[in-house]
Amino acid sequence: MAVQGPGPGWTRWTAPSLLAVPCLLVAAGCGSGPATPSRETPLPPLPSVTTTLAPTTTRVPFYDVQQGDNLQGIADKLGIAMADLAAANGITDPNKIQAGQRLTVPPAAPPPAATTTAAP
């Protein structure tokens, strides 16, 4: 059923003004303007950024003993002497550590100063 309009032969499907509007909108969308990127459009290069992190000399202050750990292995992992690790934790028998025990990690000894000798 067609809707009757203001004049003879007019329906909402044949009204010239209603048919022209969608055509104009479609035509306007096809015009010039900024190109949209596609997969073939190369992207501009990204600026290069170099980040330099300062070296840190801090150590983990604690170590939690795991099942199967021994004092020498822990000391080797941490890069310290076993005697220093035992002394920092009051351990007299290195075989008496338990899983779950928290060990204090002593600070690293400073590297030895370079010595120079004068030529005779």
pLDDT tens column, 94-114: 999 999 999 999 887 666 666
Residue 22 in any domain: the answer is no
Residue 24 in any domain: the answer is no
Element of type H or E holding 90: none
Q: Domain range holding 93?
A: 62-104
Residue 74 in any domain: the answer is yes
Which tokens belong to 2?
């067609």
What pTM was estimated for this model as a whole?
Answer: 0.45
15-52 confidence digits (pLDDT tens)? 555 545 454 445 455 555 566 666 777 778 888 877 77
Q: Which has the higher per-residue pLDDT, 78 or 30?
A: 78
Decide: helix, strand or coil at residue 116.
Answer: coil
- Count up the domains in the chain and report the number: 1
Residue 91 in any domain: the answer is yes
Q: What is the Cα–Cα distance from 46 to 51, expressed in whole angstroms?
A: 15
Residue 96 in any domain: the answer is yes
The CATH number covering residue 84 comes to 3.10.350.10
For position 24, what pLDDT does the model report?
47
Residue 1 in any domain: the answer is no
